Amino acid sequence: LASRPLSDVLRPGYLLVYTAGSLLVLGGGLLWSWKARGRTLTESAYLAMGMSCANSGFVGYPLMLLLFGPLGGVILALNFIIENLIKLPLLIALADAGAHEGPRQTVLRVIRQTLARLARNPIIIGIVLGCAVAISGWQLPAVLSRAVTLFSGAAGGLALFIIGGSLSGLQLKGMRSQVAQVAIGKLLLHPAAIWAVIVLFGQLGWPVPVGELKVAAVLSAAMPMLGVYAVLAQRHGHEEFSSAALLVTTGLSFFSISAILWLMRHSAGWLA
């Protein structure tokens, strides 16, 4: 975030559509798991995270570069803003709130405790600092920039270690419903929700992305979940189902992304 000028992310149509569609899937997945399936709020938050938070960097960015050239960097910045400023803080707060459930408390007290935990969360601190640097226009010193690049490059490898360790000897028995919910939500419901929001907002005359950005919004939602999904879920002991869901969803995404590209290519106006 700190390396992107603010002008790159001021695309209101894209931001509005991608945020609305993602929150629709996030909220639906959370409520279905928590209320309909009777799971804990923490587990439901991580299920919703898997359904609504895409791997915009390691998977999405190379594909966007291949399809859209230099626009791929803008798409990456837009997705990062929505993921890091809206979805991840919200889901982390919900997971923390569920982990600290106790005797019934006032709404104000719950909000105050949640905000206090968020203020101490290193992920949220990094997001806020990165956005502050992007807004200020300040350029990171070369030494610090190289350090950030090294750490970001190591994130994928770290995630693979966590996933590999979690999958070792893992039995899918008892986790099939969680894995299926995440895979269906991420690969089918998320892109479908973005497409539906584009159509609906267009009919209402609200800002929507056009041209390549419209295609990019649907494709971005069709990516598998973020690569550090299992790392984040490990914090509350949910690394097993999240690792299994990540493995299955990433493998199936080849077919779902190919199908969406084919449908768009044969749908009048979508690639125009």
Q: Which stretch of 57-71, 103-117, 184-198, 201-215 has the lowest confidence by average pLDDT?
A: 103-117
SS3 at position 225: strand
Q: pLDDT tens digits for 132-174?
A: 776 777 777 778 777 767 766 666 566 556 556 555 556 666 7
- Asked if the model's pLDDT at residue 100 lies above 80, the reply is no
Tell me the average pLDDT across 6-21. Answer: 86
Rounded Cα distance between 202 and 207, Å, is 7
Phi, psi of 178 (to 5 degrees): -65, -45
Q: Which of 30, 180, 181 has the alpha carbon at shortest distance from 95?
A: 30
pTM check: above 0.75: yes
Q: Which of 24, 48, 132, 151 has the alpha carbon at shortest distance from 98?
A: 48
* Residue ranges of domains in the chain: 6-265
Query: Cα 203 to the chain's mean position, in Å?
Result: 27
- Asked if the model's pLDDT at residue 131 lies above 80, the reply is no
Tell me the average pLDDT across 121-134. Answer: 72
- Asked if the model's pLDDT at residue 110 lies above 80, the reply is no
- Asked if the model's pLDDT at residue 2 lies above 70, the reply is no
Tell me the average pLDDT across 78-90. Answer: 86
For residue 10 the two structure tokens come to: 């001021």
Q: pLDDT tens digits for 216-262?
A: 999 999 999 988 898 889 888 898 889 889 889 988 998 999 999 88
Phi, psi of 96 (to 5 degrees): -65, -40
pLDDT of residue 228: 83
Q: What architecture is domain 6-265?
A: Up-down Bundle (1.20)
pLDDT of residue 214: 94
Q: Which stretch of 28-32, 86-90, 155-159, 257-261 has the lowest confidence by average pLDDT?
A: 155-159
